[in-house]
């Protein structure tokens, strides 16, 4: 049985790479670091389903938590503000712990 | 409605060079570079960009909007012609100018059309002929 590469609390970053065609990593998160908030489960790969392919093997989907102040220049909201986004495992890389 | 086979491609691309006549290949670029092109922002990928004020007013759906929504449900949930992921991909592939100016359900119907053609349910020619027939029937002076 396939195991998730990351666990809750792991520091991760969204890969900073391009991709021709449909993919599930928004531009504003590419290259940004956060931490795994939840391992949601394994699903058929939507980037292959989008081209009428089976999308197998299934791939793990994570809820990743980012600090808003890490995402936006001159963010003036409360320092504790976070943003969570659902990101598939193949878009995540291990990152340095932020402490 | 049965999912029919995809139509055969209309023409095969001309061969640019045969194996024999091809010049010796240049060394391939490093794989890491090939796999990691710089990120580009797609026309649909708007997160974080200034969006202006949001119109929160509700509006009654038009018959067109309701029909497109119904068509989507029938083709996906009932007949499994395509997955929503592929509709999303089709909409993202619209020309930037179209993507910016079309209304929500106008994008959907363009995507649905692409799905029907890709999956071999209808051809572009059949869709165009039907649109032309409906226009002709509705034109002023058309026989009732």
Residue A77 lies in a domain: yes
Which pLDDT tens digit goes with each residue over A57-92? 999 999 999 999 999 988 999 999 999 999 999 999
pLDDT of residue B141: 83
Residue A28 lies in a domain: yes
What mean pLDDT is reported for chain B?
Answer: 83
The residue ranking higher by pLDDT, B110 or B30, is B110
Q: How far apart, in whole angstroms, are the C-alpha atoms of residue A61 and residue A43?
A: 7
Predicted TM-score (pTM) of this structure: 0.79
**Total domains in the fold of chain A:** 1
Q: Which domain holds residue A80?
A: 11-94
Q: Considering only CB atoms, which chain B residues are within 8 Å of A47? A: 85
Q: What is the mean pLDDT of the segment spanning A1-17?
A: 94
Q: What is the mean pLDDT of the segment spanning B58-71?
A: 96
CA distance A33 to chain B (A): 16
Question: What does each C-alpha distance from B116 to B44, B80, B107, B120, B134 come to in angstroms?
Answer: 22, 11, 14, 6, 19
Cβ separation of B45 and A18 shorter than 8 Å? no
Q: At which residue do the structure tokens 């509006």 appear?
A: B59
> Which one of A83-92, B4-13, B45-54 scores highest in mean pLDDT?
A83-92
pLDDT tops 80 at residue B25 = no
Residue A6 lies in a domain: no
Q: How far apart, in whole angstroms, are the C-alpha atoms of residue B111 and residue B88?
A: 8
Q: Considering only CB atoms, which chain B residues are within 8 Å of A52? A: 82-83, 86, 118-119
Which pLDDT tens digit goes with each residue over B118-134? 999 999 999 999 999 99
CATH code where residue A20 lies = 2.30.30.50
pLDDT tops 60 at residue B83 = yes
Q: Which of B3, B39, B117 to mutate to test the interface with A (most CBs of A within 10 A)?
A: B39
Cβ separation of B45 and A27 shorter than 8 Å? yes
Chain A interface includes B17 (CB < 8 A): no
Q: How far apart, in whole angstroms, are the C-alpha atoms of residue B115 and residue A52?
A: 10
Angle in degrees, 0-180, between the axes of helices B104-118 and B84-92, rounded to the nearest 10: 110
Close Cβ partners of A60 (under 8 Å, ≥ 6 residues apart): A2, A4, A5, A6, A39, A40, A41, A42, A88, A89
Domains of chain B: 64-144 (1.10.472.20)
Structure ipTM over 0.90, yes or no: no
Contact at 8 Å (CB) between B81 and B74? Answer: no
Residue A30 lies in a domain: yes
Residue A5 lies in a domain: no
Chain B interface includes A83 (CB < 8 A): no
């Amino acid at each position: 049985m396939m195991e998730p590469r990351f666990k809750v609390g792991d520091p991760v970053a969204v890969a900073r790479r391009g991709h021709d065609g449909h993919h599930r990593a928004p531009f504003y998160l590419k290259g940004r670091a956060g931490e795994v908030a939840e391992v949601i489960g394994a699903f058929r790969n939507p980037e292959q389903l989008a081209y009428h392919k089976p999308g197998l093997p299934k791939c793990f989907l994570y809820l990743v938590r980012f600090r808003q102040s890490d995402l936006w220049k001159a963010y003036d909201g409360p320092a504790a503000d976070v943003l969570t986004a659902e990101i598939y495992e193949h878009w995540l890389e291990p990152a340095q712990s932020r402490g | 409605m049965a999912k029919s086979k995809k139509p055969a491609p209309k023409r095969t691309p001309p061969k640019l060079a045969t194996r024999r006549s091809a010049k010796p290949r240049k060394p391939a670029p490093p794989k890491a570079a090939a796999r990691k092109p710089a990120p580009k922002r797609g026309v649909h990928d708007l997160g974080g960009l200034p969006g202006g004020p949001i119109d929160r007013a509700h509006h009654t759906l038009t018959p067109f909007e309701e029909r497109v929504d119904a068509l989507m449900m029938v083709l996906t949930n009932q007949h499994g012609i395509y997955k929503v992921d592929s509709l999303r991909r089709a909409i993202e592939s619209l020309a930037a100018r179209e993507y910016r100016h079309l209304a929500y359900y106008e994008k959907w119907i363009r995507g649905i059309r692409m799905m029907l053609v890709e999956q071999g349910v209808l051809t572009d020619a059949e869709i165009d002929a039907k649109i032309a027939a409906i226009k002709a029937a509705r034109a002023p002076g058309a026989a009732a």
